[in-house]
Amino acid sequence: QEGIIPPLVAMLRAFEENLQMLSAACVRNIALDGANKIALVESGVLPPLVALLSSINVGVQEQAAAALRVLSANTDNQTRIVEEGGLGGLIDLLRSDNKDVQEHACGALRNLSMRRDVSQKIGEEGALPYMIGLLRSPDERIQE
C-alpha cells in the first residue's frame, strides 16, 4: 500500500472536489488498518486533509473529518494533527448543518481530547458550547 500513498496525497491537493472527496475517503479506509495510520501521516496526508476541512463542499468536509477521525485514534498522530492546525478546522465543523460532518468532527475531537494538553486547547478555542449543544442532538451518532 505504500506505493499508493504518494499519489493519494497528490490527489488530496487536486482542484476537483470529487477527487478530493474520494481521496479523503481512501485515506480513511486505508487508515482503518492500524499499521497504516502512522505511514499515512509520515507520507504527508495531514496538511491537505486539514486544508480540506475548510472546503465549501460538504462531502469534502465530511470525508476529510472522517479521515482525521480515524487517524486521530493513534496517539502518535494526535500531536501532529494539532500541530498541522486540525483542531481549529474540526471545531469550525461543529457548526455545520450536516449531521455527518458534525459526527466525524466530534469523533475526531473526542479522540484528540484524550490528551490533556489538547483537551485544554479545545476548551480555549471555544468548542465547548458547540459540543454541549450537540449533546442535545436527537442523533445518537453525534451524542457518542
Supply the mean pLDDT for the chain: 89
Identify the CATH number of the domain in which residue 45 sits. Answer: 1.25.10.10
Q: pLDDT per residue over 50-68, tens digit each?
A: 999 999 999 999 999 999 9
What is the reported pLDDT for 138? 67
Domain with 130, as residue range(s), is: 2-143
Query: 15-22 long-range contacts, Cβ below 8 Å, gap at least 24?
Result: 17/55, 17/57, 17/59, 17/60, 20/52, 20/55, 20/57, 20/60, 20/63, 20/64, 21/57, 21/59, 21/60, 21/62, 21/63, 22/63
Return the minimum-mean-pLDDT range out of 74-83, 90-99, 127-136: 127-136
Q: pLDDT per residue over 64-93, tens digit each?
A: 999 999 999 999 999 999 999 999 999 999
pLDDT at 2 over 60: no
Mean pLDDT, residues 118-122 taken together: 84
Per-residue confidence band for 144, with pLDDT thresholds at 50, 70 and 90: low
What global pTM score does this model have? 0.89
What is the reported pLDDT for 135? 64
Tally of structural domains, the chain: 1
**Portion of the chain with pLDDT greater than 70, in percent:** 89
